[in-house]
Structure 1
């Protein structure tokens, strides 16, 4: 009986330790060399394969070229996943491409359109598989908002509105927290009205690392940028600035 118990216990701890950590790195603004380099470090690989998704800008050629320029002197193997393709030009599925990567970085753009395309192409499901398998997921602006349960977006005409995210993280999110004037007050208003849950806001040059769904650390690329945890307490907004590490 004791021997059987020991075997069961060892089996449990083996499976627990062999599970891959789920890592998400989000930042408030557009992609930068510092953020790409930091994403590479999170993979713990010497020359990681990192795939960029420019879906939010309709696979903009400018954005793709910018991605390759950022990566030109970094120790990574840069890839791009384009969705405006046809069967004759691509011999692998989106899922096969994504699951062969060490990290995936999502660019900015129109969050609403990006998520709709992902759903139509089942890229959302492929990203969930990648996340569950320990592939590092990252991104800023639309590329950060997409991972949360919801947040405000400029993807519709006239004004900022709420968009539902993939829900990999159980919090709401606000990118561009101080760089765009209307972002912060509207985020606060929606939390107070219970339209959004408590969540995390990021300045353009600040980001957050989540490990297995919970906050692990904050990083910034200058001393003036921060991330915040924002929530409602007794009908008033509380904004907690998170201690940050400067990366280069």
Structure 2
């Protein structure tokens, strides 16, 4: 089973506190599975925790979240060495890849050492849904804003570039993100940039943005475009997803 065309769900969400577990998958993760078109069997989801150094405690929490959701989870770990003998084969067997947030700068460097930049492009082209939160969102774009280098937000401009836009995450909860996105778009550091409030995701078919979706009411997505020497922002109202 594969999505009908290359598909990315880029988000600032996807997790919530669980009733009987530390976390559960919220509506955005379930929507990534829906986008894959899988039916008649348990969905296969790969969890990639590179951006938080493959923290074992969080891998355990995600494994429990997958059990509750009814997904077959495969963690991809790169520290201290890859846990899978055939990384590309394992990735291509998935319905969905879900990338955790953390340091996008470190994530990109480690992925490139292991050739995952090329692997994920092949997976995207063959219909594996690529998705994730925060760093796991920015990675699919040209770049975005990040605290990977320290407390002061800075641009990252060497992401995988599957999508020809910038990406702004946590747009409503981190006061520094909006003004920095506007400045970076205005001066040409970032191209037109697509941004998400916490709890919002953006669905791309190929490189076309087709829909904004949300697991939290009252949130939005935004397009920030260069206009003259400045930047203009357009609000996109997302479709509210049903609570899983």
> TM-score scaled to structure 2, two decimals?
0.88
Instruction: Answer yes or no: is 1:133 the counterpart of 2:133.
Output: no
The equivalent position to 1:229 in structure 2, one of 223, 227, 230, is: 223
Q: Between Structure 1 and Structure 2, how many residues are aligned?
A: 229
Q: C-alpha displacement at 1:40, in angstroms?
A: 1.0
* Secondary structure, aligned partner of 2:121: helix
User: Which residue does 1:188 correspond to in 2?
Assistant: 182
CA contact (8 A) 2:212 2:236 kept: yes
Cα shift readout 1:37-60 (whole Å, capped 9, x = no counterpart) = 111111111222010100000001
Superposed CA deviations along residues 171-205 of structure 1, whole A, max 9, x for unmatched, are 00110101111111111111111111111000110
Does the 8 Å contact 2:166/2:194 carry over to 1?
yes
- Tell me the secondary structure at the aligned position of residue 73 of structure 1: helix
Aligned-residue RMSD, C-alpha: 1.8
Pick aligned residue for 2:167 from 168, 173, 176: 173
Residue equivalent to 1:76: 71
Is the helix fraction higher in 1 or 2? 1
Q: Secondary structure at the match of 2:91?
A: helix
Structure 1 residue 116 and structure 2 residue 109: aligned? yes
Cα distance change on mapping 1:86 and 1:235 into 2, 3 Å: closer
Query: Quick one: structure 1 residues 20 and 223, their matched pair in 2 at CA, closer, same or farther if it must change by over 3 Å?
Result: closer
SS in 2 for 1:148: coil
Range that drifts further, 168-177 or 59-68: 59-68
Structure 1 alignment gaps of length 5 or more: 1-18
